[in-house]
Structure 1
Amino acid sequence: MTTPAVSSGRIPEAVHRRRWAILGVLMLSLLIVVLDNSILNVAIKTISTPAPTGLGATQSELEWAINAYTLVFAGLLFTAGLLGDRLGRKKVLLGGLAVFGIGSALAAESGSPAQLILFRALMGLGAAFVMPATLAVLMNVFERDEQPKAIGLWAGGVGIAIAIGPITGGVLLDHFWWGSVFLVNVPIVLIALALMMWLVPDSRDPNPGRIDPIGVVLSIVGLVLLVYGIIKGGELADFTDTTVLATIAAGLAVLAAFVIVEKRSDHPSIDVTYFKNKVFSAAIAAIALVFFAAMGVTFFSVFYTQSVRGYSPLETGVLLLPLAAAQLVFAPRARLLVDRFGNRATTTAGMFVLAVTLAAFAVLDAGTPIWALEVVFFLMGTGMAHIMTPVSVVIMQALPREKAGSASALSNTFRQVGGALGIAILGSVLSTSYRNGIEDKLGPVPPGLRDTAGESIEATLGVAARLGPRGEALIGPANDAFLHAMHVTALCGAVVALLGTVLVAVFLPGRAEGPKQGEEQREAVVAAE
């Protein structure tokens, strides 16, 4: 079936009639991308288990397995958005899904952590072309008055993926090998490709920007160097190490060069002039800070539930349901609170709730009633839902419809960069705190294994199992060291969320009165300072 193209002008009637079916296909495409990460959350402990059960990945290798995907994703999002604007969003969506499916199949057959990291990067390449195109198509098939509702439902798709991902991953890990958590993406990709070719119209920017290869290279190199230095510092438990400091400094220098190049370019990957506007900058920063805190906390919560509390991957997936359910329920409805109270009040409240729930992890221990953890997860999801929907609307309505790909790419770039830095920085805090807490308890461990045993709680428990009865004395200290490290890391995440609370309370627009509320909110965002 051939679908008519959608330009920046009037939406064709045939497309308008099936806009909700198109939204469903776009949500399925989004679900695939988010599903992969939510499945991986419950699989990281299994992947860290020695072969044949897993790959024996260290904590730093696990962080890279997540961040290889995230950094490629973030580094290419803006270029992917521009290519969609130039070549057509439907073509880019189809190509991105195909690459993502191939990367998933290869990741499932990885024979080492290094191969997994490589194929995760390939998956990130495909996902980078999917995410901005879905939101850009959405903005082109819905009229402006329906866009907030459509974006709310689109964001609710994230909640669906977060809900079914961990449970799906748990079921697969209970019955199949660890690679099944990646292979499950392939049939979903095939279904999405078929539906997309049938239903989704093509659209493009009549005046697309030029590609900026220098900017793309500088952004990826700078982020990789920065994240590598941070992860290496956590691995060594020493951020004063010369190599660590040099790598972090080099990353910051390359990112500074990226900003300079973008300011001087007539076709930048990221138009840095957008950030002169405080409202737009605050909205983008809010997204980055939310995912900085949330991704870092999700990383350690899986080890808390499985390594300390002894739950299986499937049980862990069930425990994560309140987090997903809250986002699924509240994300589409957050716009109602925005209509009543405004962006500032809604988002500030959401950020504060997120900060409180992150701080709550600092009081959890091995004997905390599990219902308390469920309440924390539910409130965390509620806070995130009331941040993402209003902030996404502010960002997407800041630019003209034909620039929807650019706006989507900016939003998702900072979300992914925030998540990558959250895993790197909070993961390094966790690693450093754990190593410092367990070092003096490794006396029973042979000298050749002590360094390995101190890497993470899974490494300590793995060495304890190899030592037999002698290693049983390590289990209690390992749990205590991890809980202390988790508490420190959670408080760091809470501080970041509080920073975000202040930011949105000061800079986001408040409630606009009258029937032209949506247009006035847009003008508040795009008006020059």
Structure 2
Amino acid sequence: MSDTATTTAAPPPMTRAQIRLLAVACSAVAVVIAAMASLNTALPDIAVETGATQAQLTWIVDGYTLALAALLLPAGALGDRFGRRGVMILGLVLFAAASLLPLIADDPLWVIGARAAAGVGAALVMPSTLSLITAGFVEAHRPRVIGIWAGVAGTGAILGMTLSGLVLEYASWKVIFTGSAVIALLLVALSFTIPSSRAAQPLPFDFGGAVLVVLAVGLFVLGLMEGPHRGWLDVATLGPIVAGLVAAVGFVFVELRSKAPLLDMRLFTARAFGAGAAGLAFQYLAGFGLFFLIVQYLQLVLGYSPLRAALALTPILLVVMALSLTVPALLNRVGIRILLSAGLALIGASLILMSLLDADSTYLEVALTLAVTGLGIGICTAPATHAIVSNTPEDQLGVASAVNDATREIGAAIGVAITGSVLAAAYGHGIEPVARAIPEPARTAVEDSLAAAMQVAEQAGPQGEQLAVLAQDAFLDGLQQASWAVAAIMFAGAVISAFWAPGRS
């Protein structure tokens, strides 16, 4: 009797055309995500040169994010219907044109409008990139290429902050816009060398569903953005959130009754699809919440420059990119349940580590915290993204990619809202006894934020050093409480994923 060995044919190697497709798609998603975070380091310079108020500065950042989040699903559907490469090219052209506008019209309102227009372009680009590479590779290659895309998408914000910090060391903030436009136009030229894809049997475009989802996501994210500044019971906060939730309920009702829905809500009944979407929301909630806290900590407590603070985040970038190449190989062996729950638990552990940081912490302690964060993100981001796109029909890959991106944006908005609110409440409570002894208008500035308190301290003479220490202590109390709050959410997410996500298939 002889033994019979069963062999599995190895997948064909990637062609040059496929490698070029992956490179162009990843570069495109990197440039639009980097643009989301790149201006954070430039806001002080923009305020000086344009005369922008604090509210206008906030909208220079948030206008981009709001337009991007609201339009992702309709943009993904347009790619499925009319061609994903064409929609990506259109988005890159719009992004480039909007990035050039502040060079000739730098009034704050023009800059806000330009950023919103760039966000519209980014919404056309993001889902197209993921759906292009998913359609362009055979199933055997998809976990790996999706892992690479997810690694680039997950680290694009850090890359944006690092490059913008480097630019600001030697040049004007307008160079950031110029660089974004030049890269986008270069990618437009390269995009004509890659293949396109579209739905084999495209459905009619669901205009009613598109309007409802834009209102649902846009209003909900708008309310979350306003909450930390205005308070959660303010009409400008509560009104958009409630209106967004009502529009979301209407969207679900309309889509379930539609013969050609923008988003087939029944996809969420697949455990892998639903768990993947929820997992991405949890990850970005924690990731952007952590960025919101750690960047302020590095600059205002440890005294890092913007560039040094951005470079200090490198451990996350390196770990996530390394894992994006290795974790996809474990997906079939381990399964999404273990990877997703373990990753969220590690992110929660990193937030506990962050809560232990203080004014005397070394960079080694910071780097350890960030490395654990990167380990958690790297373990679960690619599997969650793969779970979404692999459980969606080929004709709806653009919409699936948009779901992937929309959950990231909504999670990020929730994360910043939670950490911002907890930090503001704890800081205000801690600084109140100190602020009582300070005359107006300095008192209001000290109560507003640690950044404002540090500016007052610089002008306060011998007593400024004591004020700075007390304000930093109040900030650290807020950082600790916010870290605990988000860590608790991550541990809850890990438990939910352990029961909800499917096992090894």
TM-score (norm 2): 0.89
For residues 330-409 of structure 1, the aligned pairs below 5 Å read 330-409=323-402
For residues 175-324 of structure 1, the aligned pairs below 5 Å read 175-197=170-192, 199-236=193-230, 238-241=231-234, 244-324=237-317
Rounded to whole Å, the distance in 2 between the matches of 1:173 and 1:276 is 48
User: Is 1:130 matched with 2:129?
Assistant: no
Task: Tell me if structure 2 keeps the 8 A contact 1:231–1:424.
Answer: yes
Residues 96-135 of structure 1: CA deviation (Å, up to 9, x unaligned): 0111112222356774665444332212111111111111
Q: 1:120/1:202 Cα in 2 relative to 1: closer, same or farther (>3 Å)?
A: same
User: Is 1:67 matched with 2:66?
Assistant: no
Q: Structure 2: which amino acid aligns with 1:303?
A: Q
Question: Match of 1:426?
Answer: 419
Which of residues 117, 121, 139 is equivalent to 2:116? Answer: 121
Task: Tell me if structure 1 keeps the 8 A contact 2:427–2:475.
Answer: yes
TM-score (norm 1): 0.86
How far is 1:259 from its partner?
2.6
Rounded to whole Å, the distance in 2 between the matches of 1:258 and 1:415 is 19
Gaps of 5+ in 2: 1-11
Q: Structure 2: which amino acid aligns with 1:25?
A: V
How far is 1:422 from its partner?
1.6
Q: Structure 1: which amino acid aligns with 2:120?
A: L
Question: Match of 1:6?
Answer: none
Rounded to whole Å, the distance in 1 between the matches of 2:219 and 2:283 is 23
Task: Tell me if structure 1 keeps the 8 A contact 2:143–2:329.
Answer: no
Q: 1:299/1:19 Cα in 2 relative to 1: closer, same or farther (>3 Å)?
A: same
User: Is 1:24 matched with 2:20?
Assistant: no
Q: Structure 2: which amino acid aligns with 1:351?
A: L
**Which stretch of structure 1 is more off in the superposition, 260-269 or 94-103?**
260-269
Q: Structure 2: which amino acid aligns with 1:479?
A: Q
User: Is 1:84 matched with 2:72?
Assistant: no
Which of residues 492, 504, 518 is equivalent to 2:497? Answer: 504
Residues 148-202 of structure 1: CA deviation (Å, up to 9, x unaligned): 12212222333663564333122111112334333321221122111111x2112
Task: Tell me if structure 2 keeps the 8 A contact 1:75–1:216.
Answer: no
User: Is 1:93 matched with 2:88?
Assistant: yes
**Matched residue SS, 1:511:** coil
Question: Match of 1:35?
Answer: 34
Question: Match of 1:522?
Answer: none
Q: 1:346/1:459 Cα in 2 relative to 1: closer, same or farther (>3 Å)?
A: same
For residues 447-526 of structure 1, the aligned pairs below 5 Å read 447-467=440-460, 471-512=464-505
Q: 1:262/1:339 Cα in 2 relative to 1: closer, same or farther (>3 Å)?
A: closer
Question: Match of 2:165?
Answer: 170
Task: Tell me if structure 2 keeps the 8 A contact 1:54–1:178.
Answer: no
Residues 341-364 of structure 1: CA deviation (Å, up to 9, x unaligned): 222112221111111001211111
How far is 1:473 from its partner?
4.2
Instruction: Give % identity.
Output: 32
How far is 1:391 from its partner?
1.3
User: Is 1:52 matched with 2:51?
Assistant: no
Count how many residue pairs are aligned between Structure 1 and Structure 2.
Answer: 493
Rounded to whole Å, the distance in 2 between the matches of 1:376 and 1:57 is 34
**Matched residue SS, 1:454:** helix
Task: Tell me if structure 1 keeps the 8 A contact 2:36–2:65.
Answer: no
**Matched residue SS, 2:168:** helix
Q: Structure 2: which amino acid aligns with 1:200?
A: I
Rounded to whole Å, the distance in 2 between the matches of 1:168 and 1:504 is 35
Task: Tell me if structure 1 keeps the 8 A contact 2:316–2:374.
Answer: yes
Q: Structure 1: which amino acid aligns with 2:340?
A: T
Q: Structure 2: which amino acid aligns with 1:149?
A: R
Gaps of 5+ in 1: 1-12, 513-529
How far is 1:302 from its partner?
0.9
Q: 1:499/1:48 Cα in 2 relative to 1: closer, same or farther (>3 Å)?
A: farther
Rounded to whole Å, the distance in 1 between the matches of 2:44 and 2:237 is 24
Task: Tell me if structure 1 keeps the 8 A contact 2:73–2:402.
Answer: yes
Q: 1:293/1:164 Cα in 2 relative to 1: closer, same or farther (>3 Å)?
A: closer
Rounded to whole Å, the distance in 1 between the matches of 2:19 and 2:120 is 28
Question: Match of 1:7?
Answer: none
- RMSD, aligned CA: 2.6
Rounded to whole Å, the distance in 1 between the matches of 2:173 and 2:74 is 33
Rounded to whole Å, the distance in 2 between the matches of 1:109 and 1:365 is 44
Rounded to whole Å, the distance in 2 between the matches of 1:296 and 1:381 is 14
